[in-house]
Structure formats: C-alpha cells, structure tokens
Structure 1
Amino acid sequence: MPTPDFAAPRADALTLRLVAPNDLDAVLSDLPDAARAWARAQGFSAAAGAVLTLPDAQGGLTGALIGLGDDMARARGRFIAAGAASKLPEGTYALDPATDPDLARETALGWLMESYRFDRYASQGAARAALVAPDGVDADRLRAIAAGEALTRDLINTPASDMGPADLEAAAAELAAQFGARMAVTAGEHLLEGNLPLIHAVGRAATAARAPRLIDMRWGDAGPTLTLVGKGVCFDTGGLNLKPGSSMGLMKKDMGGAATVLGLAQMIMALGLKLRLRVLIPAVENAVSADAFRPGDILASRKGLSVEVNNTDAEGRLVLADALAMGAEESPDLMISMATLTGAARVAVGPDLAPFYTDADDDAAAISRAAARVADPVWRMPFHAPYEPMIEPGIADLDNAPSGGMAGSITAALFLRRFAGETRYAHFDIYGWNPKPAPARPKGGVGMGARALLDAMPNLLGLE
C-alpha cells in the first residue's frame, strides 16, 4: 500500500488553526468578519476533534479551525488534531505558522498515520486532505516513522492466507533489499540441524508450504549492536489446546511482534542510525495435525534448557526462546523482544498501552520519557523474581504455561529472560491491534512501542 506523504508546499494552501477552548476568543478575533461570524453562528467551541471550515467573503474556503479540547480531553486522547485529515474537504492545507512546535510535530506525524489505508483487498478511499510539512519539523524523520508504521500495519492487517511464514520472509527480504541489509533463513528440518528445536517443534505441524523458519537480518557495520527479536506466529490455532472460535478470529495478528520489529528496523535504516542492527524473527504457524507438539511433551531448546509443554497455546514464548538464545550468543549491547504474547497483559493494561520489562532502571526511564514525548504510551512491568518458581515444574527446567492463571504476563517475561541470559534485555508484551478507530490509529493493526524505542535510542545506545 502507498506510504502517506506530505503535500508539496503551495502558496494557496488553506490555513489550519488548532484551537483550545481558552484561546478561542483570541483566535476568532483575528479572523476576517465573515469567517468570525460563521464560526460563532455554527457554535464552534473548540471541542476535541471538532472541525469547522471557514469561508471567505465570496463563499470560498479559506481554511479551517480544529478543536483541541480542554486539558482533560487532551489528557484522554492522542493526535487529536490529526483526525481532521479524514474530515476536511479535499485540498492542500498548512498549519498556522504560529502553532506550537511540539504540537505541529505531533499533528504532522499524526496526519500521515491518519492518512494510512489498507486497500489490498478493497478500496478504502484515499485521504482527501493533504498537509504541507510544517516549517521547523524534521519532515524526513516523520516520513520514515510513518513508513515504518505503515509497514507494521500492512503486515498485521494481511490475513494468514497471504501472510504465512514464507510471506513474512518475503516481506523481510524486500525490506533488506531496500536498505542493503543481509539476510539468512533457516527453514524446515534445517532448524534441527541449526539447533533451533523449539521453533521447529511449534511449526512442524504446518504444511510444507508454511514450514517454520528463523529469519536473520543484519544491517550496519559500525556503532553499538542492537538485536530485535519479533514473534512471528503467522496464525495461532492454539495447537492441540485448540482456541475457541471467538479467540481465533484475530490470530492473523499473532505475528504483530515481528511486524513491529520490522517497522522499527525500517525506521532505523531509513534514518541511517549509527548502529549495527540484527533482526531475528521465528516465523511459524501453530497448526493442528498428527505431527503437532502435545501437552505434556518435554522439548529441548537451543540454550540447553528443557521445557515442559503444559499448554500448546503458549507457543510464542517457545519460538522466542530459541531466537533470544541465538541473539544472546553475540552479546549485543541491547536486545529487545516484541510479541503479542499474553492475554494477561491485555487484562492488566488494555489495548492502548505497551507493557514492557527490563531490569535496567535507566533504560526504563529513557523509554518512558521517550514514550511521553512521541505519544506512544508504554508501562513498565516487573521482572518479579519471587515468581520464578512458578515457571519451574520440577520434571523439566522450565514450564511454558504455569497453572493457576496468576501473573501470566510476568511469568512469560521471566521465561524469556532465562534465554536472554546476561544480555541487557527489554521485552514488550504488545497487543498490535486497535479495536476501534481513533485519530491517527484506524481500526486494525497498529505499531506499539516502536516510536518510543526509536526516540529513546540515543539514550539507550549512546548514539550521537
């Protein structure tokens, strides 16, 4: 799908004024008489997301007012002004030059993300209102971020019929070719030869055309080392612990972690960050067949730890475990995993927040500060060591699904940390889906945490 972009500057671009209720009288007083009378007659109050087009004396369009709402409304929403991209008449618009620079930057990025359409299968109608990049913003950076976000959304939104492990590999290969990255793939029975037994076990029940694989992409030849690991379960039936139909309907998004790290990788490469990047994606389909792995099986892992399978629907942590162990072998400066991993995380923080885990307080603070700056909310969760016994079943080194249902996101994170070893590590348990439309975030696949991580990279890795 085309990546949204800014409009070319035009002398006749229509002016957009972003208005808070407290500033409404001052803004109206600056308008021509006809526009001011029109705004008052329409009862425009600058409510959050409200849009009012403004006429000139001949009835033509001169611009628009966009309401920002009061402090409470702004605290409850993100990218409020960007929603206008889907409400305004066709035309080219430019923000009032007096717009606060931070608000201009947020609105410009939000405008690009609001303009996203997933139209692979049916036309969704192009956004009619185009925005000129505001003066003073880094337009190239915003384009790179929007392009990475669009890639993430496209991958998640594509149904499993067209986004199996081989298709995910093809998407990664296309990205690698675009930026001159190197890529290697270990697939099928070669996973056993390459000591990736957990990835093989989870994916072996799928057809040969949808065989499991480990995608390994590298980019950059100087700077600190960053390894991104993304869960690529292209469809999750639950395996022999079969999900009910109501829980299976959205499982095309179970590769949302892979989609998000690929989107973040695109941002990093497009911006030319001075680092050495590695992306590891275990891509599988958790299918049901006579060869499916079973509850009660004890599986070997790349790290040498044995894992008792108490639920085949807790497969994401299994495939991530081998990938994390592989990544840790090179001792990167930072390793980050992203996965649509647990329902417990959704119960804890809902679909809007990206919970994350790290043992490094400085890293947690840097990520949280960045998240606030770029309107990409995250929430730190604890690697709570007293829960470690919950993932130790006795019959094997580790349990992939402790009984009892308590602290499910935490125990999953603790499980993954065992495979990250001594590597500096952060884990994101994301949802990857926007259940209802919001400004800059249409219903469907969505990136979570990637923009926060991108903004935090200078602090996390000491980049210039």
Structure 2
Amino acid sequence: MSFALVDKAENPRLLYLATRDTLEGLLETLGADVRAWADSQGFTADPGSQLGLPDNGGVIVGMGDDSSPLGGADAEFWALGALPDSLPLGSYVLAHQPAEPTASRLALGWALGAYAFTRYKKRKRAPASLVWPEQANRERVTAMAEAVYLGRDLINTPAGDLGPKELAATARDVAEQHRASCSVITGDDLLIENYPAVHAVGRAATNGPRLIDLRWGDENHPKITLVGKGVCFDSGGLDIKPAGGMQLMKKDMGGAASVLALAHALMRAKLPIRLRVLIPAVENAISGNAFHPLDVLATRKGLTVEVGNTDAEGRLILCDALAEADREKPALLIDCATLTGAARVALGPDLPVIFTRHDALADDLQNKAAQQADPVWRLPLWPGYRRLLDSKVADLSSTGESSFNGAITAALFLAEFVDPSTKWVHIDMIAWNTRSRPGRPEGGEVQTIRALFALIEDYVTA
C-alpha cells in the first residue's frame, strides 16, 4: 500500500507551503508575475487554500498562521490532506524540504487524505501522488497510515459484513502479521470462562458474542493493555432505539477498531512493551433470550449489576474486560469506546472525552494530543455522582436514574472495575467524522491513536 507517497517521479510539480507570515517572502522569491497573479486571486494563505501558478509553475498551499486556533501542529498535519483528491492527477514534490517532525506530519496528512473506502464502490479517480519528503520518518508514517486505514475500514464496514465473528478474524489477521498470539472465547464458553456480562449482552444475536485476547511482546517489558468496545451493531436491545438512532450503529465497534489500529502501529514500531488487547465483541440484538431491563447480571469481578437500560450495553461488556485487564496490574490501561451520547452533547464530535484518576497522566495525554493534532478533552470522575449508580437490589446500577451527566456516570461505572492505583484512562469517542475535512473524510475515524501512540512511546522509552 503506497498511500499515494512515492520514492521519485518524473517532472513532478512543485508544492510551496506558505503561512500568512511567509507568503510575502515566497512571492518575492517567485517573482513579480506570480505576485500579480496571487493578488488578482485574492490569495492570502488561509488554511487549506490553494493557488495554482501559471505555466505549470506549481501550487502554493496555504497554512494559516501559528497564532490561529488550529495553527502549528494542526496546520502541518492537515495542510496537504485535501490535495490527493483536489489536485490534478500527477506527481508533486515539496519545493522546500522541511525538517522533522514537520516532514512526517506533512507526509502523514497526505497519506490520510488519500484514503477512500472502496470495499463496495470504486473511487472516482486515483489520488495525486507526493514524493516522500526527504526528512520524513517513513517507517513511522507508514505504520500510522496503515493503522488508520485499518481502523477506518473496520468502522465503515456495515454490520452485515462485520459482526463479532468477522471482527475476531481481523484481530487474528493482525496478530499473525506481527507474530502475536490471539485467543477467542466464543458463545457459552464465555460463561465457563467467567465473562457473564459479555455473554448476556451478546447472546441474543445469531453471530454470537466473543472475547478477543491478543498478546505480543516480551513478558519483562512494561505491560500496556488496551480494551476496546466491540459492539458490532447496537439495536438498543429490548429498550429498542428509534430508526434514526440505529442509523450509524455499525460504528459502535469504533473503540475496538481504534485499539486494533493502535496495536498494529505499536507492534510495527516494535516498541519495548508487553502488549495485551482485549475486545469484547457482541451484537446487541433482540430475540427470545435477550437480556431485559432490570435484569441483574453477574460480572467477572463478582459485582452484581442491575440493568438500567439495555441500550447502555457498552459499559456492561467493558466491565468484564476491564476486570480481566486490571487483574494483571498493567503499567498502563487504556480503554476506548463509543460509549455515550452525553459526551457528544458536552463536547461535540471532534473532541473525545478522557477520564482518569491520575492528573499527571491526563496532562501528559492532553499535551501529546496537542502535539499530534489528535485532540482530547478531560472531564472529571466526579465522586459526588457515584451515588447515582446505587441500586436497591444489586451492587450497582448500570445507568442510575438521573438523565444528567451521562458520560461521567458511565465512566464512574467502569471505574468500579479498575483498582484506584492502576494508571487507567477511559476514552469516550464518536469514532466518526460527521463532515469531510482535509485528511479526514466523512465516515469512520480512529480518534486518539496518534496521541496514544506518542504517550505509550514516551512512557516506555523516556
């Protein structure tokens, strides 16, 4: 897979990158005719703007400026993201070769802009190609591009072709590629192996529930464990969703896609870690044996849970996986999940929410997210809301009775299954681009994996 990045090309057209501050100097260098052309077109190097130069003289690409809200790293990542599909077919090369990390950011932005989901429909045209920036870290860019393509393809695939069985097969393929081990517990064996909540949520589907367990790396290296919500389709169960609410529920395994994508990047980079990936994979369906509102479920940790709403199933499958993950006392435990609409109401689709008990960890992740143009925002695990999860008949309720603070109460529920001493981060994401932007086409998206990769890399190599 080339990602529209090539080693060399015959007579490639030049790409000039310009901020508002550097545009004047660039135009002076290119000459009076180019300056007159830019003035006539009103070109001011706004972010994402393009100015084709006369006589096939190349293209100037605008990057805004560092003082703008989305300048700096964000501008570098996405400056080239729209170009593979918007430039005329052919090859291009950067007129001035940047140093790292800018070179890798530009290359990755181009690669992600070349993505298209083509399983069912051919793309209208091939993307334009870019000659690799000379200073780019090709291995790292390729690893991340492969990871993002993998995750986007998984999320974009409809549930009819990607259920728990197919998701497990993909995990096995990823494991085989990196010589990792991958075991899968299926159907009623989940009860034998003590994953009762995963079984309860997924038992009504023909494509039965599974617990996917991928392991890689040296046992003596720091244990990094990733948990991903793998609800391959969510009908809402007996608390059935309306049609509009089901429309995008093929993406409800976005957390699983994200951790598989991140795992691929980590293993390809051969980081010195002991990696474990746990994915509870289910379809929340309706049949005669579907779980009910107010059922009391057993869990792997031994806590009993009263089901507040069968449409809040993600936390039920995650609680079993988190309990198993925490048993090993990993150095870092991260879960990713398309968990609550409340998180989207609070922060919208572009900002995944993070929850953690550890302030330094939150600060580090937010800093890495800013550096990687992969934003997150922290909300509190507010202990005063824990009482809302009290149940009269079980150890806790899955939802509580309040219609407020849903993202926080969901995170507090998961916190019951993770020891307070464990360095744990819970990420509540949408895993979907609601609109197309440079490098980020509308559709499935593996949010946070660049930030998490940088966090883990720094954690184990610092």
The 5-angstrom pairing of residues 100-139 of structure 1 reads 101-139=100-138
**TM-score (norm. length: structure 1):** 0.94
Moved more, 242-251 or 90-99: 90-99
**Equivalent position to 1:64, from 59, 84, 87:** 59
**Equivalent position to 1:346, from 344, 347, 350:** 344
**Residue identity matched to 1:40:** D
Q: In the superposition, relative to structure 1, how do residues 307 and 3 fare at CA in structure 2: closer, same or farther (>3 Å)? A: farther
Tell me the equivalent position of 2:326: 328
Moved more, 387-396 or 349-358: 387-396
**Residue identity (%):** 46
Tell me the equivalent position of 2:158: 159
Map Cα deviations across residues 17-44 of structure 1 (whole Å, 9 max, x no partner): 1112232221111115554443333332
Tell me the equivalent position of 1:249: 247
Cα distance in 2 for partners of 1:297, 1:47 equals: 56
Moved more, 275-284 or 29-38: 29-38
CA drift of 1:365 comes to 1.4
Tell me the equivalent position of 1:369: 367
Cα distance in 2 for partners of 1:449, 1:426 equals: 12
Cα distance in 1 for partners of 2:101, 2:177 equals: 31
Moved more, 88-97 or 36-45: 36-45
Map Cα deviations across residues 103-162 of structure 1 (whole Å, 9 max, x no partner): 433222111111101000001235432112212221210111111011110000000000
CA drift of 1:80 comes to 3.4
Cα distance in 2 for partners of 1:4, 1:81 equals: 13
Tell me the equivalent position of 1:462: 460
**Residue identity matched to 2:64:** G
Cα distance in 2 for partners of 1:3, 1:229 equals: 30
**Equivalent position to 1:420, from 414, 418, 421:** 418
The 5-angstrom pairing of residues 277-296 of structure 1 reads 277-296=275-294
**SS of the residue aligned with 1:420?**
coil
Tell me the equivalent position of 1:211: 208
CA drift of 1:5 comes to 4.7
Contact 1:74 1:80 in 2 (8 A): no
**Equivalent position to 1:275, from 265, 273, 276:** 273
Tell me the equivalent position of 2:382: 384
Q: In the superposition, relative to structure 1, how do residues 329 and 101 fare at CA in structure 2: closer, same or farther (>3 Å)? A: closer
Q: In the superposition, relative to structure 1, how do residues 108 and 122 fare at CA in structure 2: closer, same or farther (>3 Å)? A: same
Tell me the equivalent position of 1:45: 44
Contact 1:68 1:74 in 2 (8 A): no
Contact 2:97 2:133 in 1 (8 A): no
**Residue identity matched to 2:217:** G
Contact 2:238 2:293 in 1 (8 A): yes
RMSD, aligned α-carbons: 1.8
Q: In the superposition, relative to structure 1, how do residues 22 and 463 fare at CA in structure 2: closer, same or farther (>3 Å)? A: closer
**Residue identity matched to 2:151:** T
Tell me the equivalent position of 2:7: 8
Cα distance in 2 for partners of 1:203, 1:196 equals: 11
Contact 2:273 2:460 in 1 (8 A): no
Q: In the superposition, relative to structure 1, how do residues 3 and 290 fare at CA in structure 2: closer, same or farther (>3 Å)? A: farther
Cα distance in 2 for partners of 1:88, 1:5 equals: 13
Tell me the equivalent position of 1:225: 223
**Equivalent position to 1:400, from 382, 398, 403:** 398
**SS of the residue aligned with 1:427?**
strand
**SS of the residue aligned with 2:300?**
coil
Cα distance in 1 for partners of 2:42, 2:294 equals: 66
**Residue identity matched to 1:72:** S
Cα distance in 1 for partners of 2:108, 2:362 equals: 24
**SS of the residue aligned with 2:417?**
helix
Contact 1:67 1:81 in 2 (8 A): no
Map Cα deviations across residues 336-361 of structure 1 (whole Å, 9 max, x no partner): 11000000000111000111111112
Map Cα deviations across residues 204-249 of structure 1 (whole Å, 9 max, x no partner): 1111xx0001000001114101110000000000000000001100
Contact 1:3 1:146 in 2 (8 A): no
Moved more, 148-157 or 381-390: 381-390
Map Cα deviations across residues 309-362 of structure 1 (whole Å, 9 max, x no partner): 010000000000111111111111111110000000001110001111111122
**Residue identity matched to 1:108:** A
Cα distance in 2 for partners of 1:332, 1:47 equals: 45
Map Cα deviations across residues 138-189 of structure 1 (whole Å, 9 max, x no partner): 1210111111011110000000000100010111111111111101010001
**Residue identity matched to 1:217:** L
**TM-score (norm. length: structure 2):** 0.95
Give aligned pairs, total.
456
Cα distance in 1 for partners of 2:143, 2:98 equals: 23
**Residue identity matched to 1:223:** H
Q: In the superposition, relative to structure 1, how do residues 94 and 161 fare at CA in structure 2: closer, same or farther (>3 Å)? A: same
**SS of the residue aligned with 2:309?**
coil
**SS of the residue aligned with 1:151?**
helix
CA drift of 1:3 comes to 6.1
Cα distance in 2 for partners of 1:118, 1:341 equals: 24
In the alignment, structure 2 segments of 5+ residues that lack a partner are none
Tell me the equivalent position of 1:143: 142
Cα distance in 1 for partners of 2:46, 2:363 equals: 33
Cα distance in 2 for partners of 1:429, 1:102 equals: 28
Moved more, 35-44 or 379-388: 35-44
Contact 2:98 2:133 in 1 (8 A): no
**SS of the residue aligned with 1:419?**
coil
Contact 1:115 1:440 in 2 (8 A): yes
Cα distance in 2 for partners of 1:53, 1:66 equals: 9
Cα distance in 1 for partners of 2:266, 2:225 equals: 12
**Residue identity matched to 2:141:** L
Contact 1:51 1:88 in 2 (8 A): no
CA drift of 1:429 comes to 0.5
Cα distance in 2 for partners of 1:217, 1:255 equals: 17
**Residue identity matched to 1:82:** G
Cα distance in 2 for partners of 1:3, 1:174 equals: 20
Residue 177 (str. 1) matches residue 176 (str. 2): yes
